Amino acid sequence: MIWFTEYWTENVGLTVKANEVKRIKSKYQEILILETPEFGRMLVLDGLIQTTERDEFIYHEMLVHPAMLAHPDPKRVLIIGGGDGGSVREALKHPSVEEVHLCEIDEEVIIASEKYFPSIAGKLRDPKVKIFIADGNAFLEEKKDYYDIIILDSSDPVGASEVLFTKEFYSKVKASLRKDGVMVAQTESPMIQEEYFKKAISEIRKVFRNFGVYLAFIPTYPSGMWSFTIASEYIDVINTKRMEKVKELKTKYFCDSIYACLFTVPKFVEDIIKKS
């Protein structure tokens, strides 16, 4: 066994005991799969924990369901990033969905996820799913006015993912959405990555008329406090809730009491949002 540490900053990190299952050098990054006693299998990209068998449901349910429920009839869904398949699995829980496009830049992430994380990646070959191995930024150029929902299931805004947190990119997302389309993005930790969080919010609000920020507790992400931002040009995302649909979803974290007060955030987070 080894001790693996993800460094959250220069001064703090998360350390887990683990067995190394596989290490792959892809064209884009180092993909590391660990077996840990507490969190089960863990997927690590360039030293940063992306998902674990134990707590992935929190992230994927919270990323996907609020956006899906904000739309009156989501049929066409695009997921950018998300090669592990967790967001695909959650999107397919909505019966109105006709197609899910997954745009992942690194095919090796998909291959490794199907092999080592079947409980997460198990729906990637569903007939409604079409996988595109492409750069999300370039992919959006091809699809204008098409999607009902776009889910940005990205890694942190460093390296190739940095562009996914810019005004220019969010404008492309808006152009690829239909009129009443909804976007949702993972927007980092307001506790330990305040600058990333602020930047994402300030860029999103320059592009979309309506937006809302919500949080979830994800034990293996920096500080545990994680944010998501939902946005739409025409849908009032904060006040549009379809409570009656929550019970139809098989979930373990997302539930009607969390949904009812989804946009309740601590005062310091509210203050950061106001200043962004």
Could you list the residues that contact ligand SPD (CB under 6 A)? 48, 50-51, 82, 84, 86-87, 153, 155-156, 186, 221-222
Helix (H) or strand (E) run with residue 170 in it: helix 167-176
Report d(CA 135, CA 17) in Å as an integer: 34
Angle at alpha carbon of residue 152, lines to 148 and 158, rounded to 5° = 160
Tell me the HSE value of 148 on the side-chain side, using a 13 A CA sphere. Answer: 19
60 or 174, CB closer to ligand SPD? 60
* C-alpha–C-alpha distance, residues 212 and 237, integer Å: 7
Q: Which residues pair with 214 in a beta bridge?
A: 228
Q: How far is the CB of 15 from ligand SPD (least distance, A)?
A: 15
Identity of the residue, 50 or 176, whose beta carbon is nearer to ligand SPD in the bound complex: 50
| Joined tokens for residue 152 | 């940005």
Neighbours of 174 (CB within 10 A): 19
Q: How far is the CB of 96 from ligand SPD (least distance, A)?
A: 22
Q: Give the nearest distance from C-beta 240 to ligand SPD in angstroms.
A: 25
Q: What residue is closest to ligand SPD based on CB?
A: 50
Q: Who's near 244: CB < 8 A, 6+ residues apart?
A: none
Residue 53 or residue 156: which is nearer to ligand SPD going by CB? Answer: 156
Q: Known catalytic residue: 156?
A: no
Per the CB < 8 A criterion, the answer to whether 88 and 63 are in contact is: no
Q: Which is nearer to ligand SPD, 133 or 238 (CB)?
A: 133
Is the distance from CB of 196 to CB of 222 less than 8 angstroms? no
Cβ distance to ligand SPD smaller for residue 97 or 120: 120
Q: Point out the catalytic residue in the list 46, 153, 180, 236.
A: 153
State in angstroms the smallest separation of the CB of 144 from ligand SPD: 26
Rounded CA-CA distance 220/225 in Å is 10
d(CA 129, CA 259): 27
Whole-angstrom distance, CA of residue 93 vs CA of residue 108: 26
* CB 174, min distance to ligand SPD, A: 21
Catalytic residue list: 153
